[in-house]
Structure 1
Amino acid sequence: MAINFADKAVLGLVAVPLMHDMQLSPSQFGLVGSAFFLLFSLSGIATGVVSDRCNMKWLMAALALTWAVAQLPLGWPTTFAILLLCRILLGAGEGPASPLALHVVYTWFDDRERHLPTTIVQQGATVGVIVSGPLLTAISERWNWHAPFLALGVIGFAWMVLWLGVGGTSNHRHVSGEVPATRQAVTTHSQPPIRYLSFLTDRTIIGVMLQSFVGYAVITIGFTWTPAYLRLGLDLPATQAGWLFALQVATQIPVGIALALFSHWLLERGVPSRFARGALISGACVVAGLAYGLLYLGVPPAVKIALMAIASSLAIQTFSFGPMLVAEVAPAERRGALLAITNSIVTMAGLMGPVAMGTLIGSHHGAHGYELGFAATGTLLLLTGAAGFALLDPQCSIRRLQSMR
C-alpha cells in the first residue's frame, strides 16, 4: 500500500516542473490526474469478481508488475499521449490493490479482530505518502521530474519479488467461525448465496459508498493538487511544500489508530457497530467537512495547513471503517468480490475530482480557486456524514439479508 500510494502521489509532487516542461494548462493536468481512474474502477470490479477463485499470491504479484511497467516510460522525456496512457495503465493495475490487500488480511483475522490490522494496512498508504513527499521531491530537485517515476518502477519490481517469496493468505477462511450467531443465518451453506444486487442496495453498503466516494475525492484531489496549492497558492518553496505535504499526511496515522482503538473499545463493551463504527466515521466526516469549509474564510496560511491536515486525516478514515462495515454485512464467500466492487464504485470519484478542481483553478486566480474546490468538497463531506448517521446500521442490514433466505 505504501508503494501504491507513492505511485499516486508522484504526479502531484512533480506537478509544477512537469506542467512547465510539457507546457500543460491546469485543465490538461487535471485531465492527466483523472485519466488514472479511467480503468481503475472497471479493473477493480473485474479482479474482485474472480479474486475468490484465483491464487491471491500470483494475482497481487501481477498487479505490482503492472505498476512497475507503467512507471518506467515516464523516466525519460515523453509526450502528453504517453503520459496519459501510462497513468491509465497504472490505474488499471492499482484499482484492485486496496480491496485485495484487505481481503488477504481478513483471511487471517475474525471480524472483531480487524480494527488494528485494517488500520495498519491502510496506514501503509499514509507511510507511502510521508516517505514519498520529501524523498521524491528531493530526487526531482536533484535530477529532474522524470527520475521519481524511474525510481518507483524499480521499487515496484523489487516488491513483486519480495511478495512472491513471503506473501500469501491464511488456510483458515473464517467462513463459519468468524461471525456471531446473528450472522450465521446469512452465511448458511445449505441455501443459495444472496445476489450481489441485494448487497449493493443495502442501506449500510449504500452509506459506506456515499462516504467513501467523497473520501476518495479528498484523496485524489489531495494527491493531484495539494502540493501545487502549497507552492502556488501559499507561495512556499518546493522543499518546504514537500515536507508540509508529508506532515499533513502523517497526521492520518495517529488519527487512524486512535479511531480504530476507540471503535474496538466500544465494540468490546457491547456498543452496537451502528454506533461504534457507523456513527464514529459519520462524525469524522462532519468534522472534516467543517475544516475544509473554514479554508474559504481567509484564515492565515499556517491555520490553512493545519485545517487541511485535520480534514484529510479524518476523511480518509472512510477507507478503514468502510471495508469493516462491508465485511461485517457480507458473508465470507462474497466478501472479496463485494470489497472490490464497492471500492471500484466509490473510486470513480477519481475521474471527477482532479479535473473538476483543475477547472475551478483555471477559472479563478491565485489560491481562491483551490480553496473554492476544497470548500465544495467539505460541503459534500457534511452531507454524506449526516446521511451516514441514518444509513450505517449493520445489525439492521443483517436482519434484512436473513429475511431474503
Structure 2
Amino acid sequence: MTDTEVAPTTPADLPETARDNRRRAWIVTAMLVAFMMVNFADKAILGLAADPIRQDLGLSATQFGLANSAFFLLFSIFGAAGGLLADRVSPRWLLLGMALLWSVSQAPMALGAGVAMLFASRILLGAAEGPAFPIAQQTALSWFPDHRRNLPSSLITAGTTLGIVIAAPVLTWVVRQHGWRSAFAVVAVAGVLWAAAWAFTGREGRHAIAAATGTAAEPGSANVAYRRILATRSWIGVTAAYASTYWMIALALVWLPSYLHNGLGYSSTTSANLVALVWAVNAVALLGQAGLTGWLLRRGVSSRWARARVGGITLILAAAGCLALAGGRRGPLTVMLLVLGFGICGVMASIAVTTVAEVTPAERRGGALGLMNAVVTVAGLLGPVLIGRLVDTQGPAGYRTSIVVSGVLLLLGGLAAVTLVDPDRDRRRLAR
C-alpha cells in the first residue's frame, strides 16, 4: 500500500473534540449539582419534620440534637478517608456507591423504625455522605483548568442550597399530607434514581488523567506530603473560615425551621418558605461570588484578593447580620437580617474548595479536600447538640444565644480568611 492509499482518519479515530469535551463537562457538572441536591435533602429531613418526629418518638430538644449530631459521628472520618481514597480509586464509582448507601440508610425510617434505628440510620447516612462534597468537587474540577473552576465549583456548592430550596416546601407538604416517614421514602427513591442516571453519564475529565496514570502534573508534585499541605497558612485559613460556614449550615439544617416556628412564632408553612428563601439567596450569592471572582482573576487580581478576601469580607458581613438578628423580633427587618446572616456565608464553601485546589497538586487534591472537609464538619457534630442543650435550658432565649455564638464564629472565620490565606505564596512554597 502506498502513502496515498493509506485510509484517511475518520472522526471515530480522533480524540474527543473540544466541543464534545465541553458538553460532557457540563453534563457531569449538572449531574453533580443534582447529586448535592439529593445530599442536602437527605440532611434536611430531620429539621423540616422536627416537631412531628420529636412528638412521635418522645424526644427532648437535647435528644433531638444528639440524633442530628449522630449524623456527623462518622461523617468527618469517612470524609477524610473517602478523599484519600479518591486519589487512588475512580471517583465515578465512589459517587455511585455513596448515593446507593444514602437510599439504604433512609429506608428503615420510611418503614416504621424507632429511636434506636433513627440514630443508627443517621450514623450510616453520615458515613456515606462524608466524602460527598469533596469528591463531587474533585470530579467537577477535573473537567476544568484553574481559571475556569469558579463557576462549576459554585454550581456544585449551589446544589446544596437548591436541594433545600426544593426540599423545604416539597418535604414539608409531604410531611403534612402523608406523615414524616413518607419524606424519608421520597429522598430514598431520589437517591436510587440519581445513581441509575450516574451509572450511564458519570466520568472524570482530562485534568484528572495525570493523577490517575501516576504521572505528575508538575515537577516533584507527587512527592508533596499531605502534612506540608495541611501546614500552609492558606489551608489553615480557609479551613477555619469554612468551619464557621459549616456551623451555620448545621444550624440552618437542624434548628432554623424550629427557631422560626417556636422562637419567632411563624407558622410551619411560613417557616418553610423562609428557609427556602435563605437557601435561595445562598445560591444567588454563590453564583455572584463565582462571577466576581472569575472577573477579578481574568483581570490579573491575585487569588488572595479575588477568593480569600472576597470570602472573608462576606463572612464578616454575615457575622454582623447574625449579631443584629439576635435582638430582633418577627417582621421585615428580621427577615432581612436572617437573609444576611444565613444567606450569604455559604460562599466560603466554594472559595475554600477552589483555594485548596489551586494550592494543592492534582495528585494530592482529593486527600487535601477530604481532610479539610473532615475538620470543618466537626462543627456539624458539635453544633446541633449544643443548640439543643441551650433550647432545653433557656427556652426560646436559647435560640438567641445560639445566634450570638454563630455571629462570633463567623467573625473569627472571616478574619482567618482575610489574614492567613495567600494561595500564590503557598503554592510556590510547596513547589520547592
SS in 2 for 1:37: coil
SS in 2 for 1:47: helix
Gaps of 5+ in 1: 177-185
- TM-superposed deviation, 1:3: 0.2
Distance in 2 (CA, whole Å) between partners of 1:174 and 1:329 is: 18
Q: State the one-letter code of the partner of 1:399.
A: R
Pick closer, same or farther for the CA change 1:189–1:80 going to 2, 3 Å: same
Q: State the one-letter code of the partner of 1:363.
A: T
Q: State the one-letter code of the partner of 2:92.
A: K
2:176 aligned with 1:146, yes or no? no
2:424 aligned with 1:402, yes or no? no
Question: Which of 370, 395, 419 in structure 2 is aligned with 1:340?
Answer: 370
Q: State the one-letter code of the partner of 1:362.
A: D
Deviations 1:170-199 (A, max 9, x none): 1343759xxxxxxxxx95345751110111
5 Å-filtered alignment, 1:25-64, equals 25-64=60-99
Is the 1:110–1:174 contact (alpha carbons within 8 Å) kept by the matching residues of 2? no
User: How many residue pairs end up in the alignment?
Assistant: 393
SS in 2 for 1:315: coil
Aligned to 1:180: none
2:37 aligned with 1:2, yes or no? yes
Is the 2:237–2:421 contact (alpha carbons within 8 Å) kept by the matching residues of 1? yes
Q: State the one-letter code of the partner of 2:407.
A: G
2:115 aligned with 1:80, yes or no? yes
2:421 aligned with 1:392, yes or no? yes
TM-score with structure 2 setting the length = 0.88
Q: State the one-letter code of the partner of 2:122.
A: R
Aligned to 1:179: none
Pick closer, same or farther for the CA change 1:361–1:110 going to 2, 3 Å: same
- TM-superposed deviation, 1:299: 4.4
Deviates more, 1:117-126 or 1:307-316: 307-316
Larger-gyration structure (1/2): 2
Is the 1:2–1:124 contact (alpha carbons within 8 Å) kept by the matching residues of 2? yes
Question: Which of 398, 403, 415 in structure 2 is aligned with 1:374?
Answer: 403
Distance in 2 (CA, whole Å) between partners of 1:369 and 1:159 is: 39
Aligned to 1:123: 158
Q: State the one-letter code of the partner of 2:403.
A: F
Is the 2:220–2:431 contact (alpha carbons within 8 Å) kept by the matching residues of 1? no
SS in 1 for 2:223: coil
Is the 1:116–1:257 contact (alpha carbons within 8 Å) kept by the matching residues of 2? yes
Deviations 1:194-247 (A, max 9, x none): 110111010000001101111101001110000111111122222221111111
Distance in 2 (CA, whole Å) between partners of 1:295 and 1:364 is: 18
Identical amino acids, percent of aligned pairs: 37
SS in 2 for 1:247: helix
Deviates more, 1:242-251 or 1:301-310: 301-310
Q: State the one-letter code of the partner of 1:314.
A: I
Is the 2:238–2:416 contact (alpha carbons within 8 Å) kept by the matching residues of 1? no
Pick closer, same or farther for the CA change 1:114–1:190 going to 2, 3 Å: closer
Pick closer, same or farther for the CA change 1:190–1:196 going to 2, 3 Å: closer
5 Å-filtered alignment, 1:320-339, equals 320-339=350-369
- TM-superposed deviation, 1:2: 0.3
Distance in 2 (CA, whole Å) between partners of 1:288 and 1:222 is: 14
Q: State the one-letter code of the partner of 1:359.
A: R
Distance in 2 (CA, whole Å) between partners of 1:152 and 1:192 is: 40
Deviates more, 1:311-320 or 1:283-292: 311-320
Aligned to 1:182: none
2:178 aligned with 1:156, yes or no? no
Aligned to 2:412: 383
Is the 1:295–1:304 contact (alpha carbons within 8 Å) kept by the matching residues of 2? yes
Deviates more, 1:153-162 or 1:290-299: 290-299
- TM-superposed deviation, 1:300: 4.2
Pick closer, same or farther for the CA change 1:252–1:191 going to 2, 3 Å: closer
Deviates more, 1:388-397 or 1:4-13: 388-397
Please provide the CA RMSD for this pair: 1.5
Pick closer, same or farther for the CA change 1:28–1:107 going to 2, 3 Å: same
Q: State the one-letter code of the partner of 1:360.
A: L
Is the 1:4–1:94 contact (alpha carbons within 8 Å) kept by the matching residues of 2? yes
- TM-superposed deviation, 1:371: 1.5
Aligned to 1:229: 259
Question: Which of 275, 284, 293 in structure 1 is aligned with 2:323?
Answer: 293
Is the 1:234–1:301 contact (alpha carbons within 8 Å) kept by the matching residues of 2? no
Distance in 1 (CA, whole Å) between partners of 2:371 and 2:181 is: 34
Aligned to 2:58: 23
Distance in 2 (CA, whole Å) between partners of 1:191 and 1:388 is: 25
- TM-superposed deviation, 1:304: 2.0
Aligned to 1:303: 333
Distance in 2 (CA, whole Å) between partners of 1:168 and 1:339 is: 19
Structure 1 runs of 4+ off > 4 angstroms? none
Q: State the one-letter code of the partner of 1:378.
A: G
SS in 1 for 2:255: helix
Aligned to 1:261: 291
Deviations 1:299-333 (A, max 9, x none): 44332232122222221111110000000000111
Deviations 1:125-158 (A, max 9, x none): 1111000000000000001111100111111111
Distance in 2 (CA, whole Å) between partners of 1:71 and 1:41 is: 20
Is the 2:222–2:361 contact (alpha carbons within 8 Å) kept by the matching residues of 1? no
SS in 2 for 1:54: coil
Question: Which of 252, 275, 284 in structure 1 is aligned with 2:282?
Answer: 252
Is the 1:248–1:305 contact (alpha carbons within 8 Å) kept by the matching residues of 2? no
- TM-superposed deviation, 1:353: 0.7
Distance in 2 (CA, whole Å) between partners of 1:258 and 1:191 is: 33
Deviates more, 1:103-112 or 1:187-196: 187-196
Is the 2:44–2:167 contact (alpha carbons within 8 Å) kept by the matching residues of 1? yes
SS in 2 for 1:146: helix
Aligned to 1:12: 47
